[in-house]
Amino acid sequence: MKYLIVGLGNIGPEYHETRHNIGFMAVDALAKTAGATFNDGRYGFTATISVKGRQLVLLKPSTFMNLSGNAVRYWMQKENIPLENVLIVVDDLALPFGTLRLKGKGSDAGHNGLKHIAATLGTQNYARLRFGIGNDFPRGGQIDFVLGHFTDEDWKTMDERLKTAGEIIKSFCLAGIDITMNQFNKK
């Protein structure tokens, strides 16, 4: 069984470890624990890890957030991965920092990366792991906030939150979405 785990973010040093790049950070952490390294490929950087006989293709799109669907579609086709084995890891303003929510489908909630993925794939019925980044910004300050860096307070629990995100990703691949949502969405 093969899975495509897509961490959303933007490439380039100016976006490194910004709130909008939490998807990159989650797949980076998962690759690091498995001792895997990312290779530069078409539409993104990929690493492959094995979890109990399941092959996980980790993807960090190089298309920039607003064109993420191009990378997702390409790697699904290249690796012959069905939609039900795709998981998108994405930042979410509606959730407090560090809150993790797995969903089997849903709206893009104004997120341009999810919007482009849905438009490209022709459906919103794909799994996503929403990583809360909070929403402590003044009216009109959303763009600066999501492209800004995490606070010192956020960093105190970052490693633990990224580790939990990795556990959710692995459980999604091993136990399926329903069991994983029941186990982790209550936390």
Catalytic pick from 16, 20, 116, 149? 20
- For β-strands 100-103 and 127-132, DSSP reports them as antiparallel
Is residue 20 flagged as an active site residue?
Answer: yes
Q: What distance in Å separates the CA atoms of residue 108 and residue 58, rounded to the nearest whole number?
A: 21
> Rounded to whole angstroms, how far apart are CA atoms 11 and 13?
7
CA distance linking residue 101 with residue 21, whole number of Å: 17
The DSSP string of 77-144 is HHHT--GGGEEEEEEETTS-TT-EEEESS---TT-HHHHHHHHHHT-S-SEEEEEE------TT-HHH
Whether the CA torsion 12, 16, 128, 92 is positive or negative: it is negative
**10 is annotated as contributing to ligand binding:** no
C-alpha distance across the termini of the chain, in Å: 28
64 annotated as ligand-binding: yes
182 is in an annotated binding site: no
Is 80 annotated in a binding site? The answer is no
Residue count (the chain) = 187
Residue ranges at the known binding site for tRNA: 15, 64, 66, 112
Residue ranges at the known binding site: 15, 64, 66, 112
Residues annotated as catalytic (active site), given as ranges: 20
